[in-house]
């Protein structure tokens, strides 16, 4: 995935205080807004620092095949708006 595209998606999630859902080669995971201290997009990877130093997650940009901004999702009703981009 391109750095500029990932940067736009991360900025959208930050501006809207939405979760970020990441699909890579190994897994799918959600970065919840309230747990994030800092998100950084470099030339090679997406870095997420969790609050209070609990964890730092590195995801190589080349391994991301889908990145989505998750909006207004509730625990019981899993339907909600999602916007994002996927790589072929």
Supply the pTM of this predicted model: 0.74
58 three-state secondary structure: strand
Residue 29 counted as domain residue: yes
Give me the residue label for tokens 């859902």.
21
Report whether pLDDT(88) > 80.
no
Q: Which domain CATH number covers 68?
A: 2.30.30.100
Query: What is residue 73's predicted lDDT score, i.e. its pLDDT?
Result: 54
| Structural domain count, the chain | 1
User: Residue 30, Cβ neighbours under 10 Å: how many?
Assistant: 13
d(CA 14, CA 3): 16
**Phi then psi dihedrals of residue 75, to 5 deg:** -65, -40
Sign of torsion over alpha carbons 10, 17, 75, 80: negative
12 occurs within a structural domain = yes
Q: What is the pLDDT of residues 21-77, one digit of tens each?
A: 999 988 998 999 888 899 999 999 999 998 877 899 999 999 999 999 998 655 544
The boundaries of the domain holding residue 60 are: 3-72
Average pLDDT (2-19) is: 92
């Amino acid at each position: 995935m391109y750095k500029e595209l990932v940067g736009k998606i991360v900025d959208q999630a930050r501006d809207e205080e939405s979760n970020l859902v990441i699909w890579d080669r190994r897994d799918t995971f959600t970065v919840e807004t309230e747990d994030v201290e800092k998100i950084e997009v470099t030339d090679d990877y997406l870095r997420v620092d969790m609050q209070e130093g609990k964890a730092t997650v590195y995801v190589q940009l080349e391994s991301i095949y889908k990145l989505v901004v998750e909006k207004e999702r509730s625990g019981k009703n899993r339907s909600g708006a999602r916007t994002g981009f996927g790589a072929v």
